[in-house]
Amino acid sequence: MFKSFKIATLSLRIRIFLSMIVLILMASVILASISIFQFKNEAKEYHQERLERNENAVKQHINFILSTTTYPLTSGNLDLIFKDKIHELAHIHNIEINIYSLEGQLLKSSKESFSVDKVAPPIPKYILKLVRSSIEKRYVDIKTIDGKKNRSAFSQIKDDKFKPLGILNLPYVEDDGYYENELKSFLIRLGQVYTFMLIIAFAFAYFLSSYITKSLKTISDKLSETSLNQKNEKIVLEASSKEINLLINSYNGMVDKLEKSAIKLAQSEREEAWREMAKQVAHEIKNPLTPMRLTVQSFQRKFDPMDPNVKQKMNDYSETLIQQIDTMSAVASAFSNFASMPAQQNETLNVVEVVELAMDIFNEEYIEFKSDSPEIISKIDRTQLIRIITNLAKNAIQSIPEQQEEKSVVVRIRKDTNNVLITVSDNGIGIQPKDISRIFEPKFTTKSSGMGLGLGIIKNIIENYKGTITFETEFGKGTNFIVSLPIINT
């Protein structure tokens, strides 16, 4: 359900409404992010400054102790000088204090439980190097332990002549509890304010989006009612937006143009209908003319007055020609009445006999007619059945190249349950794969002559009988057309 949902399906009013809500939510998220970032920066600066203040205060106190001590100011005497003073320093400044030698060995620490021995960890060498190389002779090491940030300041202790005596270390654990509480309180207040703003924004966005899209809804309703088949009304509306007014004027102009186009289209459709009818009539009349001409010529050549069967042959030739003439006459009558192709005039007939007679007009010796049964009785239109056979047989003959030595066209009829199957097979050039999907399209043809209406017309005839026409083809080897017509019981 959610996968099929698309933002494009939302109305403009909903889009405007959602856009305003999203803008407010984005503003609240951005403001909250900036606030969190600011609070974190303030906490970082606070801890850094606090450590520096403590360090400066401790160093001033240390300088005072060094100036008042009775011990010589040497590195070796630091543990004696601060033997009793280091705890006093730590208590006064409320901070842990460690004093190291210049080599990084711990000399004194304010930790009560700490005892100076060889196991005490020295200052890492990289820190000693950084302290010596810095201009201020100072370095702050920052590490995160158990989720808390620990700062540790290292700076040199100097005598009154600025000679290094040792290294002062002040560990400092950052406590962000105050800032975290302040940040939490701020975010709660911010959430309350923006919740109130969202409620107001919902109402404001709804009324604003409705107001903006009111004119568009009117235009949309008019557009949905617009049709070529009716008189379209113009929009009479004065919108408060210049863009909407331009859209209304464009629609009204389109209505005028659409009315003119509808008149031209109707005229064009009438002219096209005449042209299509003329093409169909020409095609239907032309189909039987060629085989009729060949039949007459063949009859002239082979006519023998002394043949004992001359009367029967004359009857066969006459009946074949009469069938084709009746077909052309029906087409001409339909055209004169400006109607569709002849309506079905079903009659009880022997399908095998009608098809066999229709094949008699073709004189090619390689045409073969087969039937599994001498009689298949059905109620069907004789003229339309002849048209189907004539079209398919003619196409089969024309698909075989003239220079081909072995030629074969086989028309076969058989009964399959309640259907009669008519198969027209040839060993011609077949149909190219690119043309298979277009073979029944009107006006499509692969021949240099003809208008490509034959297969389209017979497909319509067959489908009117609730039948089907299919084909099997292999380019370069031939094609089989299979027509299935239901047997209409008498």
The 10s digit of each residue's pLDDT in 34-66 is: 877 877 777 777 777 877 888 888 888 888 888
Write out the DSSP string of 136-170: SSEEEEEEEETTEEEEEEEEEEE-TT--EEEEEEE
Q: Which pTM does this prediction carry?
A: 0.38
Q: With bands split at pLDDT 50, 70 and 90, how would you rate the model's confidence at 425?
A: very high
First vs last Cα of the chain: how many Å apart?
Answer: 54
Contacting residues for 388 by C-beta, under 8 A, at least 6 apart: 422, 458, 461, 462, 483
Kindly report the number of other CB atoms within 10 A of residue 437's CB atom.
9
Mean pLDDT on 75-97:
81
For 405, the token pair is 């030595």
pLDDT in tens, 110-168: 876 544 444 568 888 888 888 888 888 888 888 877 767 778 888 888 887 888 888 88
Q: What is the mean pLDDT of residues 472-487?
A: 91
Check residue 116 and give its pLDDT. Answer: 46
The domains of the chain are located at 7-180, 276-486
Residue length of the chain: 490
Average pLDDT over residues 400-406: 90
User: What confidence score (pLDDT) does residue 368 get?
Assistant: 92
Handedness of CA 263, 267, 268, 272 (dihedral sign): positive
Q: Encoding tokens for residue 41?
A: 């920066």
Q: Note whether 7-180 and 276-486 share their fold.
A: no
What confidence score (pLDDT) does residue 215 get? 67
**Superfamily of chain region 7-180:** PAS domain (3.30.450.20)
| Average predicted confidence (pLDDT) for the chain | 77
Percentage of residues in the chain having pLDDT higher than 90: 9
Q: Which CATH architecture does the domain made up of 276-486 adopt? A: 2-Layer Sandwich (3.30)
Does 315 have pLDDT greater than 70? yes
Residue 399 · residue 330 · CB < 8 Å: no
Cα 447 from chain centroid (whole Å): 40
- The structure tokens 């017509």 sit at 485
Beta bridge partners of 158: 164
